[in-house]
Chain A
Amino acid sequence: MVNISEMTFLEKTKYYYHKYKIAYYFVLPTAIAMVLMHFFPIVQGLYMSFLRLNNFTLNQYLGAPFIGFGNFYDVMFNPSSPMRIGIYDAVRNTIIYSFLVTIGQTAVGMVVALMLSIEFKGRGLVRTLFMFSWIVPTYVTGILWGFMFQQTIGIINIILVDWLHLLAEKPFWLVGVNSIWAIIIPTIWRFWPFSMLMLLAGIQNVPQSLYDAAKIDGAGKWKTFWKITWPMLSPVWMILVLFGMIYNTYSFNIVIMMFGNGAGFPGKWGDLMMTNIFRNSFMRWDFGAGAATSVLLLLVMIIVVNFWYKHYKKTEEIF
């Protein structure tokens, strides 16, 4: 046994290199790609948030005037900055959206997973058919649901009003308050099968003996679910919730393709953080402020994830 603690730094490096040579070789390509495509750009992106990078200084790029925390001040506290136009709507919508979508996709996934855990003929095929909505590309999801949500000629209103008579008159989905539902529903539709797949695998892994024991104790279905299935699945759904939160906060494709196919303003109730940043960066050419908003969003995300991670670590050790 080699005593590592007595070695010099160089010796240590040499020792580890020899011991884990293959591991380092294996990791190297990924590490290079990470540094090139993640590290360098993100450093530039962070630096951009300190610059007054707008349409007049665009061609200077990183040589644009350095204004310290000016952009951050503008975004957060300066009421007369154009960056703040509509940011309140975007923040509110993003919170509602990512919260509801994450809950929705986990809940729908859970319900269908429970149904699919019943044995019946053709179960594999049904599961595959359920997965189909997860395969549809997100840009198609946006286009397709935008197409279906149209007020007069959209099939959703035709079914709801003309066929089923559930509503008195055709509601607007792509204009006004309903537009938040118009983005939440398709997103859930697109992502729930993944949750279902994970949860189903988890359910099938729960030992049958636990259920048998519960049955002997006389516990009902409802109780069995909350006392056994749900806690046993916690590692699965906690990860789903984490990734759901991250992805939904940064959701862009569905929203941008649904309203005017990438040109229009999604509306007071359809605008999300990403579309807001996108508009400020590429249509108002205030890249500095756009980058600053992204950085703020990133900070919020790190805090949330950290909080989640701490809580999660208590429940189960996975990393």
Chain B
Amino acid sequence: MNKIFSSILISVILVSFSILISGCGAKEQKSGQTVVTMWVMPNSLEPINDLSDVLEDFHKENPDIKVQITSLDWGSAWQRITIATMSGEGPDILQLGTTWVGAVTGMGALADLTSKVSELGGSSYFLPSSWKYSGIDGSNAVTSIPWFVDARAMYYRTDVFNRLGLTKNDLATWESFQNTLDKINKANLTIDGKKVYPLGITGKNDWNVVHNLAPWIWMAGGDFLKEGNKECALYSNEAASGLSYLVNLVIKGYVPASCLEQNTSQVENAFNNGEYAIIFTGSNELRALTTPEEQGGAANTYVAKRFDIVPYPEGPKGKVTFVGGSNLSVFKNSKNKDEAWEVIKYLVGKKAQVEYSKRSGFLPSAMEAFDDPYFTQDVRRSVYREAVKYGRAYPCIPEWAQIEQPLNRRFGIMWEYVLNNKDKFTTDVIYDDVLKKAAIEVDKVLLMNR
């Protein structure tokens, strides 16, 4: 018996050895070629394939540069960037979520790109709302270049609307939006064997708890930070009324409770499968609804043939949508800064922007890319073209990423509370329990860093 097991053991060792050897041999690199390493997050269904497709022409034009792409999920990317900053060892190019730019710039981890931006035609080349994230507020240094933009809009089912005699004008303001939801709720529709709930929104388990709530706070006239970015502005009647408007939609039963446990892509999937009449989400949902099922989309579903897109309903203080997305930065300790810049320059060029937008579903950050027929010809895509115009972003300050943590937690607790104590919920709860505490916690962070 011992012989059998020791032979198994030996073979396991041999196999792992041979794999190690073959693994080392597989590293191919042409001599004289500069390898530019790049960290990206899963922006599309096949993150590495899609980006390499876009970069195909770049590789043809620049045979001496090879872009090596690593795909990281957002969670581990966050840690890796931190540690790379600490040790000074990182990739040449890194993708940064717009809300991280302030923090990572503040750490001094990014190369200054100010002098190079003129090659692209200056800041006017980009969408104003996304250019806001090119560097820290109040400083002129450019540390990151907008790559793509994530803007949100409202998706609704045309079949439900037609049936109830509703039009998109019924989604124009907060008041009419609520009436519309009420009508859909009362109609108690069952279409395609599924009960249709009026609205789908995400709760605590989403990645973007704060982003999802931000438009409602802004539209009510509230804000996160006071002028000068030194103090939290959340403890205000405006912010409370914005949040309570949204929470009340849940309390009134327009949103099924199960929805609050899900994340954005689950809610999107439920919408595709016909469970909600209305959802708020980003432009990649439009891509999913126009991509065949065989390619990972949902173009074959019942809903995909019966939906339309409009901007957020207009609140007391106007129409606002959250604009996020991702930027590209060059790491300070990179040894191939010039080559890295070439790659970035290519990726923000019109052609690559449109190509990447087709694959990821996000919107381009370059203004001229919106003139492409891809955006002008499609009615629904042009809604997003409009939406980015009144997009609003968080202040780009080094503390923002830290501020988001307590907010994330506090709003997460708010959703848990909504779920468990539906009856007891009042605007006062938001005001005293959520916003007051959140403001105190945010102030703590701001104070700590001063």
* A touches B (Cβ under 8 A): yes
Interface residues of A (CB under 8 A from B): 54-56, 58-59, 61, 80-82, 85-86, 150-152, 170, 172, 174-177, 259-265, 267-268, 279, 282-286
* Neighbour of B260 across the interface among A85, A175, A263, A265, CB < 8 A: A175
The CA-CA distance from A284 to B444 in the complex, in Å, is 12
Q: Is B349 located at the chain interface by the 8 A CB criterion?
A: no
| B75: Cβ under 8 A from any A Cβ | yes
Interface residue from B86, B106, B444 paired with A61 (Cβ < 8 Å): B86
From A58, A80, A174, name the one whose CB has the most chain B CB atoms within 10 angstroms.
A58
B447 partner residues in chain A, CB cutoff 8 A? 80
Q: Is B16 an interface residue (CB 8 A)?
A: no
Q: Which of B22-30, B156-164, B409-417 lies at the binding interface?
A: B409-417
Inter-chain contact B444/A81, CB cutoff 8 Å = yes
Pairs across A and B, CB under 8 Å, 30 listed:
A54-B449, A55-B398, A55-B401, A56-B106, A56-B107, A56-B398, A58-B86, A59-B86, A59-B88, A59-B108, A59-B109, A81-B448, A82-B444, A150-B261, A152-B258, A152-B261, A172-B257, A174-B261, A175-B260, A175-B416, A176-B419, A176-B420, A262-B75, A262-B76, A264-B204, A264-B205, A264-B412, A267-B416, A282-B82, A283-B405
B115 at the interface (CB under 8 A from A): no
Residue of A nearest to B409 (CB): A265
Complex: chain B residue closest to A271, CB-CB: B409
List 5 additional contacts besides A264-B204, A283-B78; criterion CB under 8 Å: A174-B205, A176-B416, A261-B75, A263-B73, A265-B408
Tell me the bound Cα distance from A172 to B75 in angstroms: 24
**Complex contacts, B103 vs chain A, CB 8 Å:** 55, 285
Q: 1/0 per residue B63-90: CB within 8 Å of A?
A: 0000000000111101100100110100
A265 touches B204 (CB 8 A): yes
What does DSSP make chain B's interface, helix, strand, loop or mixed?
Answer: helix
Complex formed: what's the CA distance from A58 to B79 in Å?
13
* Inter-chain contact B107/A172, CB cutoff 8 Å: no
Within 8 Å by CB of B85, from A59, A85, A152, A279, lies A59
B291 close to chain A: CB less than 8 A: no
On whether the beta carbons of A285 and B402 are closer than 8 Å, the reply is: yes
Task: Decide if the interface of chain A is mainly helix, strand, loop or mixed.
Answer: loop
Given contacts A175-B203, A282-B79, contact A56 B448 (CB under 8 A): no
Chain B residue contacts of A172, Cβ below 8 A: 257, 261, 419
The interface residues of chain A lying within 8 Å CB-to-CB of B368 are: none
A265-B204, A282-B79 as given contacts; A260 in contact with B263, CB under 8 Å: yes
In the complex, A4 Cα to B17 Cα: how many Å? 49
Q: Which of B365-423 contact A (CB under 8 A)?
A: 398, 401-402, 405-406, 408-409, 412-413, 415-416, 419-420
Judge whether B154 is part of the interface by a CB distance below 8 angstroms.
Answer: no
Provide the bound-state CA to CA distance between A286 and B445, in Å: 10
Residue of B nearest to A279 (CB): B405
Q: Which residues on the B side are within 8 Å of A81 (C-beta)?
A: 444, 448
Query: How far is B405's CA from A82's CA once the two chains are assembled, in angstroms?
Result: 10
For the complex, give the distance between the alpha carbons of A77 and B86 in Å.
29
B441 an interface residue at 8 Å Cβ cutoff? yes
Q: Is the CB of A58 within 8 A of B260?
A: no
